Amino acid sequence: MAEVKKATGTKKKSWFRGLKSEFNKIIWTDRDTLIKQTIAVVVITAIMALMILVIDEVAKDVVDLLTH
C-alpha cells in the first residue's frame, strides 16, 4: 500500500514540476500593450453590437411591413 502512495505522490510532484516549468515559458504582455488590446476589444465589441442592433431593427421593420 505504501508503494502505491509513494508512486502517486511522485507523479503529482512531477506533474507540478512540469506545470511550473511550462508557466515559466509564458511571455506575459506588458501593461501598455494589455491596456491597448483591451480597449481595442471593447471598442470592436461595441461596434459589432451596434451593427447587430441596426440589422435587427431593420429586419424587424421589414417583417412588420410585410405582415401588416
Contacts of 37 (CB under 8 A, 6+ apart): 29
Predicted pLDDT of residue 53: 98
CA 19 to chain centroid: 20
Predicted pLDDT of residue 10: 81
C-alpha distances in Å from residue 51, one per residue of 8, 26, 43, 64: 54, 36, 12, 20
Predicted pLDDT of residue 8: 66
Residue that is written with C-alpha cell 431593427 in the block: 57
Residues of the chain falling short of pLDDT 70:
1-8
Predicted pLDDT of residue 3: 53
